Each structure stands twice: as structure tokens, then as C-alpha cells.
Amino acid sequence: MEVRRLMRMWEQSREMTRKLAGAIPPGKEMFRPAPGAMPAGLQVLHCVSVERTAVAALTGPDGRWEWDQGLDLEHYPTVESILEVLEEQTEATRRYFAGLSDEDLGREVKLPWGEVWTLEEFWANWVSHEAHHRGSLVTTLRAMGVEPPNIWA
């Protein structure tokens, strides 16, 4: 795959996430559809946090995966603050992709859970991970009584 194609997949995924995040009604960031479910706002912040961790690990000198990014509902309690940090990370990841070559996608990366993937495999799986959380966010919005925006148009 080429970097530009992978980045386009990621950009499309991110735009869908942004639309759903923007549909969370103010004051409903902590809403959970069921006990044990991740709150609406945390679905988005989790994606931002993991992506921030990944970009830092993939670009840092020691390749360390530092999971605690401080991206939680205590620090980002409003839809507005969640969208702001989502956009900040989106820009950081765009810069990351802009620095990659097609050859870089074949580089192997040791993941924190022990597997070794190429960068292409990692980012393809990342897009899938974000899609999983979008699905959860759609369900959460519906449980709130909110009709999710059409993310496919």
C-alpha cells in the first residue's frame, strides 16, 4: 500500500469519528448505555489517547509505549474540549503520515503486547480499532435518544 492511500483511509475514518463525537449532546459526555460500558466522551478520548501513544512510540528515540496520556473525562469534560483534543491529535498524526515514505510502511514494529507488525499492518488495524469505538458510540448515542449523524455521506 502507498502512504497516501493509507492516510486517506485514516482521514476518512477520523472524519466519521469527528461527526459522531460532535453529536454527543453537551452534558452527556459521561453517559453510559449500560453498567460497565465506556462513557460516550471516553470512547473518543480513548481513540485519541491510544493514537497519541502510538505516534509517540513510533517516532520517539526509544520506541516506548507510554499509555497514560492524561486524556480522560476529568481533564476533557466537555464535547468542545473533546473535539479540540481530537483535532490536535488529528493534526499531529497528519504530520506523522506526511513524514512517511511508502518504504517505511514495510518497517517492522514491536508492539507492547509482543507481536511484530509492519507499520502498514499497525495502521490498518488502528483504523479498524477506531471503527470499533465508532460502533460503540453509535449505540451509546441511540441509547441517549440521539439519532447519530450519517457518517457515510
- Computed on alpha carbons and rounded to an integer, the radius of gyration of the chain in Å comes to 16
The crossing angle, in degrees rounded to 10, of helices 3-22 and 79-98 is: 180
- The residue type of 56 is A
Q: Name the residue among 45, 98, 92 with its Cα closest to residue 72.
A: 45
- Read off the amino acid at residue 2: E
Structure pTM?
0.94
Angle 31-35-37 (CA atoms, 0-180°, nearest 5)?
A: 65
Question: For 82-123, how does the pLDDT look when each residue is reduced to its tens digit (9 = 90+)?
Answer: 999 999 999 999 999 999 999 999 999 999 999 999 999 999
Shortest CA distance to 134 belongs to which of 35, 54, 22?
22
Supply the CATH classification number for the domain 3-144.
1.20.120.450
Each domain of the chain, given as residue ranges in start order, spans 3-144
The pLDDT tens digits of the residues spanning 66-80 come to: 888 889 999 999 999
